[in-house]
Amino acid sequence: MSDPSSTFDYIIVGGGTAGVPIASRLSQYLPSFQVALLEAGPDAVDHPKVTDPNVWPSLIEEGLLVDYSTTPQKYLDNRNVPANLAGRMLSGSSGGNVGVWMRASKTDYALIAEKAGHKRFTFEGLLPYFRRIETHWDKKADPKIHGFTGPIHTVGGREYPFRETMLRSYEALGLRYNSQSTAGDPTGVCDLTQCYRATSPGSSERQHSAKVYDLSKVHVQCNEPVARILFDSSNSAIGVQLVSGKILNARKEVIVCCGAHKTPQILKLSGIGPKEELNNFQIPLIVDNAAVGDNLFDHSHLTQFFKIKYPEKGFCFPFKGTARPEYGQGIPWEFNAFSNIPPDELRPVLASDGFSGVENNTHHLLQDKRCHILGIPWYFPIVASNEYNPTIDVTAGGHMAFTSLHLLPVSRGAVKLRSSDAHDEPLMDPNYLSTNTDRYILRRAVRDTLRLTETEPLASQLDGETPPADSAFAALSSKSTDEEIDARIRAFLSTVSHPMGTCALGTVLDDEFKVRGARNLRVCDASVFPEPVGAMPSSTIYAFAEMCADLVAGRSPTE
C-alpha cells in the first residue's frame, strides 16, 4: 500500500521556466487535486544574485547555473564549447538568464504548428497565452497584442546616447525601425524589452517563474532530483523515483519539465528512447522512440569588441555625464536587429547541403518573414575576458560589443546518455555549424555587423575592432575574406544557452504534449520545439506552459 504522504494527483518534475507555471496553474484550476513540484536545485527565489538582473554571470559561482560543456565540435576545431548554461534552482533558467522578452514571427509558429499537427501552436493560437503571462511596460501598447495583468512584469523604453546614431546606421543598410516587433513580424530594428519589474526609477528585479507564480497550494520539494519515471504494465506513468531512492506516486499524470538537456536523459533512464542506446546501458525498454534526445539545436553567436573613438562623451557604460536613472533597470542594451536573408541568396547553399524543397521554395528557411540573423549592439563589452581581451576595461566606457547571432540553424545534434546513473550529466553534442548553410548564415551575420560598424554615422564614433589577444587573429573588417571570418568563428563561436528540440512535438510528443507510446505522461519545456524560432525562446516557453496547464485542466485559452 502506498504512503498517502507520498501520493499526489499530479507530479511536475522540474521547477523551472515551464514547471512552475504548470504547477501553479493546476493548483489554481484544480483546487481539489494535490500537485507536487520537484526541483533538483535549491530554493533561491530570494537570493540577492537572482533578484538582481545585472549580476547573472556570478550565479555560476553560486552553483545555481550548470554548465553543460559540449562534446568536441568537429566544425569548431574540435573545441568543447563551454557556458551551455541551465538553471538548477527553483525557477530554473528563468532565474539566471538576461531576461529578454520577445516573440518570434508568425511564420516560425506556423511551422511549429505544422510539425505539431495543431493550429493551437500558430501565432494566433499562442497570442492569448502571450497576453495572459505579461504585464507589459508600455500602457499605450495595443491590448490586442499585449497583456497588462499577467504575472510577469516587463521593462523597456530606455533610450541611450547612441540611439539615433545606431538607428541611422541601420537604416542606411536597409534595416528600418520596427515599433511592432511583437505582432508577428520582428524584422527590423526593435526596442529591447526585458522581463524585469521596475522597483524604482533606477532599479528593477528579475521576474523569474517562482517569484511571480503562486506556489502556496503546491507541494514543493527542492534539492530532490528525479532518477526515473515509474510505469505500470500498460505503460502508464504512475510516479517517480528520486535519486535518493524515495518513490512518489501519481494518481493522474507525471509532467516532465527539466529542459532540453535533462528531460531526454530522464525519459531514457525511464525506458523511453532509442532501443539500441537503452540496450547498451541495460535499461528496460518501455517505448522505442529514436527521436528522444535527437534533433538538438541551439542559438550560436560570435561577439566582437569595438573601440570607442571618444570615450569622454559618455556613449557607453558607465555613461559618464550622460547617465539617466532608468539605465539602472537593465543591461546597457537598447536594440535587437532582426534580418532576413533573401531566398535567391540562400538557395545555392541549401542545395549544396542536399536539402529538399529548394527548387520549389518550400524549404522552411526560404519562407517569408523568417529572421535568420539577430544583431545586438551592447553599450559595454559584454563577455570580454581577461584571457582573450586583457586590454579591455569593462568599466572604462572605451569599448562596445556587437553580437552576431544565428537564429535558425539547420544543423542537428543530440543528447545522449553518459551512463545509466542519474548522477551523471548527459553528453551534449549540438553539432554546431555542421552544414554549409549554417556556416554561410553566421558568416553573413558577422559580415553584416562589420558593415554596420563601417557605416555612418556610427563609423565616425568607432576606432575599429579590438581583436582577441592571440596574435593569430587580426582585426576583422568588411573587407576580410570568408576564410578569415570562418577562422574567427571556429575559434570563438559560443552559445546563448538556448538548447531546444530534444523531445519534439510531432515525433516524441503529440499535440497535447503527451509522450507518444506512454500514458499519463507529458513533457513541456524547451525540448518540445520541433524547429528553432527566430527569437529568444523564454516567452514562448511560458506560453507553452500556460497552454499545457489548460490542456491538463480541460480549459480553453480564453478562460
Alpha-carbon distance values, 470 to 18, 77, 382, 445, 446 (Å): 41, 16, 19, 23, 19
Which is it for the CA torsion 276, 71, 542, 438, positive or negative? negative
3-state secondary structure 336-404: EEEECCCHHHHHHHHHHCCCCCCCCCCCHHHCCCCCCEEEEEECCCCCCCCCCCCCCCCCCCCEEEEEE
Q: Which residues contact 476 (CB under 8 A, 6 or more apart)?
A: 304, 446, 450, 465, 467, 484, 485, 488
> 292 among the known binding-site residues?
no
> 100 among the known binding-site residues?
yes
Number of Cβ within 10 Å of residue 266's Cβ equals 23
- Taking the C-alpha atoms of residue 533 and residue 52, their distance in angstroms, rounded to an integer, is 28
> 226 among the known binding-site residues?
yes
369: amino acid identity, one letter: K
Alpha-carbon Rg for the chain in angstroms = 23
Prior bond of 57 cis (ω within 30°): no
Helix (H) or strand (E) holding 548: helix 538-553
Q: Residue 511 has which C-alpha cell?
A: 499535440
- Taking the C-alpha atoms of residue 339 and residue 322, their distance in angstroms, rounded to an integer, is 30
> 97 among the known binding-site residues?
yes
- Taking the C-alpha atoms of residue 506 and residue 529, their distance in angstroms, rounded to an integer, is 9
Q: Which residues contact 115 (CB under 8 A, 6 or more apart)?
A: 504, 505, 506, 530, 531
Given a contact cutoff of 8 angstroms between Cβ atoms, the answer to whether 514 and 289 are in contact is no
Exposed, middle or buried: residue 558 (CB in 10 Å: 0-12, 13-18, 19+)?
exposed
Q: Is 168 left (phi over 0), alpha (psi -120 to 50) or beta?
A: alpha
- Taking the C-alpha atoms of residue 317 and residue 332, their distance in angstroms, rounded to an integer, is 7
DSSP E strand boundaries for 257-295? 272-273, 287-288
Nearest to 145 by CA among 134, 158, 160, 157: 134
- Taking the C-alpha atoms of residue 126 and residue 56, their distance in angstroms, rounded to an integer, is 29
Given a contact cutoff of 8 angstroms between Cβ atoms, the answer to whether 271 and 555 are in contact is no
- Taking the C-alpha atoms of residue 405 and residue 374, their distance in angstroms, rounded to an integer, is 5
Binding site membership: which residues?
Answer: 97-100, 226
Binding site membership for FAD: which residues?
Answer: 97-100, 226
